[in-house]
Structures are given as structure tokens and as C-alpha cells.
Chain A
């Protein structure tokens, strides 16, 4: 566990409906009522399907594919991130393979940023940076193209879900090695600790809804 700190984008947020997290710092930063649950969050939370014991016994997998079958809800999720990051000088959105590829590009396109895929080993064809990270059993590795980032660029990292934060932490390290300034990590779903602005490697994590059991 790490320390909890104030999120640098806004003050706190709170409240929410059934299973719907309203962490509405973006709204409060833009002068809307603090603590009001964004009505889109209920639809987003309802669209997430929990699949028990996948990929292993004991894991309750939060599946976003049902959300992708609801065009209005998919659009709402993307819009919420776009509203948060538009106009903040974000030069790049980095998405983690493979479900980060589903959400990241739409955000990048809407805010006029580059999209950078962070991939499993040996998928990217050119010269890469590699960052290893620890899994429950064994290790994995994330790669990024050399030259994707110019030093000093502001970047948001996107994935569908954050649990332990191992993959996201590796992504942050990868981007920082290339000289990026990682502004925030953005996920649709996260463990409850992330609603309290729990930081990863000192970086804020913004989630729309809490993962369900």
C-alpha cells in the first residue's frame, strides 16, 4: 500500500449510486457541483459484467465487452475521459495492450494527442524500450517504441482496469525513462482504494467506477 495524497487536478470527490463511483474532480475543477454523481456513471457501472473464476479460480473478472455493445455507454465512458483531459496540453495517450487499445485511441483522437501502444514483447517492430514487471507468478514485460515520446511531453496512460497496479507502474516507468511527464493514469474500473486518489509511483490514478466482486 502507499500513501494517499491529494489529487492534483481537483479537490476530493465522493458520493455515488449503487456500485457507481463518482470521483468528480474534473467536474469540480470545471466549476460544477462538488460531489454530484455524474449520471453517466450508473450506466457505465451497470454495463460491466463480472465473470467469476476467470482466468483462475478466485478471481472475479470485470469484463468490459458488454459495455462495448452499448454504443451510448461506450461513448459516455470515452466522453468522461475526454472532458477531463481536453485542454490540458496532453501530447500523448499511451494505451496498454490490448484493452487499453480499445479506449485510448478514441480519447487521443478527441483531444488531438498522439496514441502510443504499449505492447507485450516482440510485437513492436522498431527499436524499443522494455520494462519488466513482477506478476503473482513470474515476470512480464511491456515495450514502447523509441522515439514515440519527446522528452517533457505530458502523457496519460490508459487501461480498462487497474488492480494491483503492476502493469500501470511498469507503463509509468517506461514512459518516464523516455522522458515523459506522466500526468495521470486513467482506467474505467479500479479497486476501491483508487477512488481515494491512491497514487502509483507518485502518479494519480483516475477511475470511473469501482471493480465489483
Chain B
């Protein structure tokens, strides 16, 4: 059985150097449970009806592709969400509503699907957009953070000077799985002295325990799915 619900935001501990972050609740409590087995045409992400009908539309627009990129992996494909202008609009609006009055000065997007969701959020809240990229893509001086993969390691990079010590940052990606990439992104930004107030993803795979990897760092997602 697969179901979707909105995450109640966890309030981070107030820090001495930054104003307390007051997350807003996106979904109203007392959700109704709607479960569907299988799903039409492979859509195995299902909406749990809540006061926010937008989430139901977003969840149903995400396509699941079995055995990609490897056998056994159920790939959550957001390209079908992008083909649905209302669902895409609603996705961005839900993030913007949450973050627009929080004093966020930087939205960092993880290459490549974080580049799709991050910039519209940044534009709407008046924040800088900082691309976090695979090695050797950024042309200027960079700082790098290595992270573990199932087999081996990978690296993400950020331009020196893009983020300043007094920035309040949001990290955006399409999906959080194990949390490895997001964790590296948070470290990269905090190494220059900025504070990451939250990580924002469209989808979470809770079984992979990405939140544990991120520790105290809050994660906000719109939909959950089975790994």
C-alpha cells in the first residue's frame, strides 16, 4: 500500500545568530485515508485526501517506472508532473507559501532536477539561486563536498562566493532517498558559514531514512512514496 501525506514541519532549535524559523503548516490535520492497490498505468503514488487538494493532484501526476535505473528500483518520475502545468504550478506555490516570509536569501538546487524546482521558488521569494553541480561543470573557483554512494563516492561543487556567511539557505531537490546528496549539499553551504534552514523536496522515500542522515536539519516534502 502506498500513501501520501504532508509532513508536519519540525521546528529547528533556535540559534543565537539567526532569527527563529517559523515553518508554516501546509496541510491541515485530520487527513482521510484513501488507498488504492496497484494504480493506473504504474502510478503507485497515491493521494491521501486532505484539506489541500493540490497535493492530491501533485501526487497523481508523478509516474513510477519500475526497475530504473536498475532492477528492483521503483523510480519516481517527476517529468509527468512537469507536463501538467497546474500540478507544476501547485508544487511551486506550496513551497513558496511556506518560505516566502522566512527571510531566506539563497535557494540552492542540486543538479539536475533541483534546477527545475529551485529557480522558480527563488524567483518568487526574491532569493539568489545557487546551482550545486557535479564535478568540473562550474567554471570558476569551487568548493567540493564528497559523499558516499552505494558503490564508491561522488562529489558536488559550489562556486566560491556564491553563498555568504550571513545567508539563510534552502536546499531543493526533487526527491530525498538516503539523504546522501542533501547531506553533502547542507555541509557545503554551512562550510562557508551560512545556515540551511530546511531541505525541500517534492518526494520522500521514508524507508530509506534520509531524515536520519540529515539529523537536526529539517526536511519538508509534499509527497511520500515507497522505495
Contacts and interface: CB of A to CB of B under 8 A. Distances in A.
A105 B83 contact: no
A101 interface: yes
A157 B65 CA distance: 26
B116 A126 contact: no
B92 interface: yes
Interface in B163-210: none
A82 B27 CA distance: 31
Contacts, number: 106
Contacts of B115: 98-99, 101-102
B162 A109 contact: no
A102 B139 CA distance: 16
A116 B83 contact: yes
B226 to A, nearest CB: 16
Interface stretch (A23-31, A36-44, A68-76, A129-137): A68-76
B85 A106 contact: no
A125 B75 contact: yes
Contacts of A70: 128
A148 B79 contact: yes
- Give the size category of A's interface with B: 35 or more
B130 A69 contact: yes
Contact of B123 (A74, A97, A114, A119): A74
Contacts of A13: none
Contacts of B136: 55
Contacts of B145: none
A99 B68 CA distance: 24
Contacts of B63: 126
B77 A125 contact: yes
Given A109-B89, A109-B92, A126-B65, A117 B139 contact: no
Contacts of B77: 125-126
Nearest to A91: B85
Looking at chain B's contact residues, the main secondary structure is: mixed
Interface in B100-146: 109, 111-113, 115-117, 119-120, 122-123, 126-131, 133, 136-140
A71 B123 contact: yes
A163 interface: no
A24 B227 CA distance: 50
A65 B83 contact: no
Interface string A101-128: 1110110110011111101001111100
Given A98-B112, A102-B119, A108 B131 contact: no
A48 to B, nearest CB: 12
Interface string B71-84: 00001010100111
Given A69-B162, A125-B65, 14 more contacts: A54-B139, A65-B130, A65-B131, A71-B126, A74-B119, A78-B123, A98-B137, A108-B88, A114-B83, A114-B85, A115-B83, A116-B79, A125-B69, A145-B79
30 contacts: A51-B139, A54-B139, A65-B140, A65-B159, A68-B131, A69-B128, A71-B127, A71-B128, A74-B119, A74-B122, A74-B123, A98-B111, A98-B137, A99-B115, A101-B112, A102-B109, A102-B119, A102-B129, A105-B116, A106-B119, A108-B82, A109-B92, A109-B120, A114-B83, A114-B84, A116-B79, A116-B83, A125-B65, A125-B69, A145-B79
Interface of A: 49, 51, 54-55, 61, 63, 65, 68-71, 74-75, 78, 97-99, 101-103, 105-106, 108-109, 112-117, 119, 122-126, 145, 148
